[in-house]
Amino acid sequence: MKVGISACSNGHSREWISQVEELVDVLTPMGVEATLAEHIEAKLDEFSGTDRERADDIMALYKDDSISAIYDISGGDLANGILKYLDFDVIAKSNKTFWGYSDLTTVINAIYTMTSKSSVLYQVKNMVYSEAELQKKRFKAYLDGNESELFNIDYKFLQGDKMEGIVVGGNIRCLLKLAGTKYWPNMNGKIILLESYGGGSGQIATLLNQLDDMGVFQQIAGVLLGTFTAYEKSNLEYSVFDLLKMHISDELPVACTREIGHGHDSKAIYIGKEMTF
């Protein structure tokens, strides 16, 4: 199996480049040959290349028939800059699955909106972080045909007891970069996944306000809350669910999981795929 490794968002600092090499060393014994995109290391400020150059990296991987999947290993702020340069007709006809997390929420949801194809919200570099052994075990099981260890998540309902629909969303801040663009997903009947790395009560509250002002909570079939890393460390009075309840009806199903987000132990979830909770 051959995969592409890309960095659509911020370039890797020199201190992080060793993680790329370590990831390749992890994948190789699993039978995964990694092809690295040209623009991964940061060269000017946070840019590994121009928006077009990073988009060209992705499209080269999509056009390479030997590549089975594309794993993006970046995060930060820059991923939405590539969207206008992507050839969604090529992506739609491809049998490749795109993987990424955090700022790649923009690309993942744009792919769904423009092609109806699902992608995976997951950071493959979890296999070189603090929970490396656990993540390598899960990922190897996935490669061997057993998706459950990587994709089956534990969750509990905070409101309601069932929801079903196509899952969209991801990182709440990054998702909202798509608001007002042609890449914004149709929210009717969807389950919206929301998680975050940064942000206290003020920032998360204002992002939920924006979703409310856009009418999202009147359109969706349910909410899945992932982890809110900085928020949960801040010992705040309001929970994220408390903030969410200011904007939703008592009838809208809401579930939460500790297994989707920025934690090094996080699992994977398909964005753009029908799911039942």
What integer is the mean pLDDT of 219-232? 97
What integer is the mean pLDDT of 248-273? 98
Question: pLDDT value at position 89?
Answer: 98
Residues carrying CATH 3.40.50.10740, the chain: 2-150
For residues 196 and 260, the answer to whether their CB atoms sit within 8 Å is no
What integer is the mean pLDDT of 205-224? 98
Indicate the fold that domain 153-276 takes in CATH.
Answer: Glucose Oxidase; domain 1 (3.50.30)
Question: pLDDT value at position 39?
Answer: 97
For residues 142 and 149, the answer to whether their CB atoms sit within 8 Å is yes
Tens digits of residue pLDDT in 127-167: 999 999 999 999 999 999 999 999 999 999 999 999 999 99
For residues 215 and 180, the answer to whether their CB atoms sit within 8 Å is no
Residues carrying CATH 3.50.30.60, the chain: 153-276
Is the pLDDT at 253 greater than 90? The verdict is: yes
Question: pLDDT value at position 16?
Answer: 87
Considering Cα of 178, then 183, then 189, then 190, what sign does the dihedral take? Answer: negative
For residues 173 and 196, the answer to whether their CB atoms sit within 8 Å is yes
Is the pLDDT at 27 greater than 90? The verdict is: yes
The fraction of the chain above a pLDDT of 90, given in percent, is 99
Give the pLDDT band of residue 265 (cuts 50, 70, 90).
Answer: very high
Of 173, 156, 179, the residue nearest 105 (C-alpha): 173
* Residue-averaged pLDDT of the chain: 97
Residue 274 a catalytic site member = no
Tens digits of residue pLDDT in 158-213: 999 999 999 999 999 999 999 999 999 999 999 999 999 999 999 999 999 999 99
Give the pLDDT band of residue 76 (cuts 50, 70, 90).
Answer: very high
Is the pLDDT at 238 greater than 90? The verdict is: yes
What tokens appear for 140 in the block?
Answer: 């190897």
Residue 195 a catalytic site member = yes
Q: What is the CATH number of domain 2-150?
A: 3.40.50.10740
Residue 102 a catalytic site member = yes
What tokens appear for 77 in the block?
Answer: 């702020």
Token pair 């992002």 in the structure block, residue:
207
Q: Which of 94, 195, 196, 266 is catalytic?
A: 195
The fraction of the chain above a pLDDT of 70, given in percent, is 100
Neighbour count for residue 153 (Cβ, 10 Å): 18
Considering Cα of 256, then 262, then 265, then 269, what sign does the dihedral take? Answer: positive
For residues 6 and 71, the answer to whether their CB atoms sit within 8 Å is yes
Q: Which of 6, 9, 94, 102 is catalytic?
A: 102
For residues 114 and 183, the answer to whether their CB atoms sit within 8 Å is yes
d(CA 29, CA 150): 19
Is the pLDDT at 260 greater than 90? The verdict is: yes
φ, ψ for residue 55 (rounded to 5)?
-65, -40
Question: pLDDT value at position 146?
Answer: 97
